[in-house]
Amino acid sequence: MSFQSGFVSIIGKPNVGKSTLLNALLGEKLSIATPKAQTTRHRIKGILNKPNFQMVFSDTPGIIEPKYKLQGSMMQFVNESLQDADLVLFLTDFSEWNEEAEMLERLKVVKAPMICLLNKIDEHAQNVVEDKLNFWRKQGFFKQVIPVSALNKFNTELLVSSVLEYLPQGAPYYDVEQLTDRSERFVASEIIREKIMVRYKEEIPYSVQVEIELFKEEKDIIHIHALIYVLRDSQKQIMIGRGGNALKQVGIAARRDLEQFFKKKIFLKTFVKVKEDWRDNTKALKDFGYEG
């Protein structure tokens, strides 16, 4: 029996459901997903292993015009994912038409074959969905245009079959038991950051970086110490909250998901520190894994 393997990049604007789609395809919650835009900051590879194929999906940050160095690094992750892709999945939804025109200009330089996925179709009437599907079909550079609902896993099996048409034959790139190329420390930091994204408002979610200082695994328990960096003292006070209650709630929510992912009891300690202007600091970005 022949074996197929290849790299599939998921791209699109912020908040169209890229991380939700990756999780639906894998059947596991690997990428964090929140209602806030720009939740994903890194390129995260999720690996779908079956007896006859290995699909290495890349979840990528939402495509934006960078306003500071961190966002510039995020867009570099998108560009890198396009360079080694055997197939590109362009995920879109029912946003404004003028934004789509801008996106079409970006897509013209993509060399890999592309499939357009229209997400969130369950939120709209059938005639609206058809109009939107026809718009994307008329663009002329998509191999297929497929309606999906990432949240409800509608058409995900059809999508996997379609992706298989474009994957080359070859041995798997990763161990067939592997779910991601990312470390356990990275997964833990992302789960904690997700809870911060959900709980806090305004600028706090976009000012936070989570670093795992200790990840010590024992037979029945994992000890995790997490450093949460913010830009200013005022943000540190908000993060901790009155009597430490806000930070405590983040810890409770994070520990629940950490235990579910790692299938072990978690002992989690969190600390908040100020690192001024880290989003525009090249050394800090390198230390946090955004550059180099």
Name residue 164's amino acid. Answer: L
Tens of pLDDT, residues 40-94: 999 999 999 999 999 999 999 999 999 999 999 999 999 999 999 999 999 999 8
User: Contact 284/240 with Cβ under 8 angstroms?
Assistant: no
pLDDT of 97 above 80: no
95 confidence band (pLDDT: 50, 70, 90): confident
Coil, strand or helix at 151: coil
> DSSP letter at 277?
T
Q: Across all residues in the chain, what is the average pLDDT?
A: 94
pLDDT of 96 above 70: no
* CA proximity to 192, closest of 122, 261, 139, 119: 261
Report pLDDT for 292.
64
Residue 69, φ and ψ in degrees, nearest 5: -60, -35
99 confidence band (pLDDT: 50, 70, 90): low
Tens of pLDDT, residues 10-24: 999 999 999 999 999
Domains of the chain: 4-164 (3.40.50.300), 184-287 (3.30.300.20)
CB under 8 Å to 243, separation ≥6 — which residues? none
Coil, strand or helix at 234: helix
Distances (CA, A) of 22 to 146, 159, 234: 16, 12, 36
CA atoms 174, 177, 179, 185: torsion sign: negative
Q: To which residue do tokens 């596991």 refer?
A: 28
Q: To which residue do tokens 């901790």 refer?
A: 240
* CA proximity to 206, closest of 198, 217, 197, 215: 197
